[in-house]
């Protein structure tokens, strides 16, 4: 069977462990973000936080945890979380460019559109952010996420450093990279993909309906191939660039605990 790139998010009915703030880490994350956001808050401009890292490393959970932490600030900032998989090119475009098998790699994203959207948010505009459908495995053609004058915009996604225009002020005010051992991330990926495949068994509209006849072992074998042939090369060759560009690197243990944080002063 052909191995396909897989983009996914948590199933709506699944309860996932959220990190308790301040993320059980020996690092003053809240105070660090307050200091970094001082100029943006004074100017009334959205403070943009990027959360990057491998597929399945826990970016969405971390982003939600940041939201919970920011809610404890006395200013009660308005926070919007935007998943950048909405800025993947539509499947038809990927096919026309003959890069369908590169879905999730840097060239599969509409970087110009993402850059423009972030710029519009910072300019105070009302921005319609595209969404990705994890049922059709394509861009959602019906719904969008409206973002209007947030105090904090959290971008959750891959290859975030590539939106920075050269020789210009940064668009992402604080880039946080989640790091973990490859073997741990592979296990997390498998633990997330298998339930998606199982949930699609009885849903003909689901992308994962195509895998309905697979046995448990076959599903695990498929997940292994996706990881080894797509996600791992993407991590090693491309996603890792965000770690080099990050302001904070958050190192996670096999049980998702934060074991230490590396700050990169610029």
- Output the pLDDT for position 197: 92
- Tell whether the torsion through CA atoms of 33, 35, 39 and 43 is positive or negative: positive
Are the C-beta atoms of residues 70 and 33 closer than 8 Å to each other? yes
- Output the pLDDT for position 135: 81
* Three-state DSSP string of 195-264: HHHHHCCCCCCCHHHHHCCCCHHHHHHHHHHHHHHHHHHHHHHHHHHHHHHCCEEEEECCCCCEEEEEEC
Specify whether domain 29-263 bears CATH 3.30.390.10: no
Tell me, yes or no, if the pTM score tops 0.95: no
Report pLDDT digits (tens) over 115-127: 999 999 999 999 9
- Output the pLDDT for position 47: 98
Q: Which of 205, 196, 88, 189 is nearest to 135 (CA)?
A: 205
- Output the pLDDT for position 231: 97
Q: What is the C-alpha separation between 162 and 114, in angstroms, rounded?
A: 10
pLDDT in 10s for each residue of the chain, 266 residues: 445 454 444 433 333 333 433 456 889 999 999 999 999 999 999 999 999 999 999 999 999 999 999 999 999 999 999 999 999 999 999 999 999 999 999 999 999 999 999 999 999 999 999 999 988 889 999 999 999 999 999 999 999 999 999 889 999 999 999 999 999 999 999 999 999 999 999 999 898 999 999 999 999 999 999 999 999 999 999 999 999 999 999 999 999 999 999 998 86
Report pLDDT digits (tens) over 154-210: 999 999 999 999 889 999 999 999 999 999 999 999 999 999 999 999 999 898 999
């Amino acid at each position: 069977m052909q191995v396909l790139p897989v983009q996914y998010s948590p199933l709506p009915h699944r309860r996932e462990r959220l990190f308790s703030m301040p993320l059980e880490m020996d690092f003053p994350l809240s105070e660090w973000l307050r200091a970094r956001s001082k100029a943006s808050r004074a100017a009334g401009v959205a403070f943009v936080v990027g959360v990057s890292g491998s597929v399945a490393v826990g970016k969405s959970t971390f982003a939600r945890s940041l939201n919970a932490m920011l809610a404890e600030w006395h200013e009660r900032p308005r926070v919007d979380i935007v998943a950048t998989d909405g800025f993947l090119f539509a499947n038809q475009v990927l096919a026309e460019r003959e890069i369908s098998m590169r879905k999730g790699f840097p060239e599969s994203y509409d970087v110009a559109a993402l850059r423009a959207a972030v710029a519009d948010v910072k300019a105070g505009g009302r921005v319609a952010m595209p969404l990705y459908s994890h049922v059709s495995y394509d861009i959602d053609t019906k719904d969008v996420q409206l973002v209007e004058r947030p105090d904090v915009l959290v971008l959750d996604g891959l290859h975030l450093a590539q939106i920075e225009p050269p020789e210009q002020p940064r668009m992402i005010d604080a880039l946080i990279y989640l790091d973990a051992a490859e073997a741990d991330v592979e296990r997390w990926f498998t633990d997330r993909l298998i339930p998606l495949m199982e949930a699609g068994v009885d849903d003909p509209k689901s992308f994962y309906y195509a895998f309905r006849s697979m046995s448990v072992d076959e599903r695990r074998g498929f997940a292994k191939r996706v990881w080894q042939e797509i996600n791992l090369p993407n991590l090693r060759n491309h996603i890792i660039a965000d770690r080099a560009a990050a302001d904070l690197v958050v190192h996670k243990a096999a049980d998702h605990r934060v074991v230490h944080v590396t700050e990169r002063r610029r």
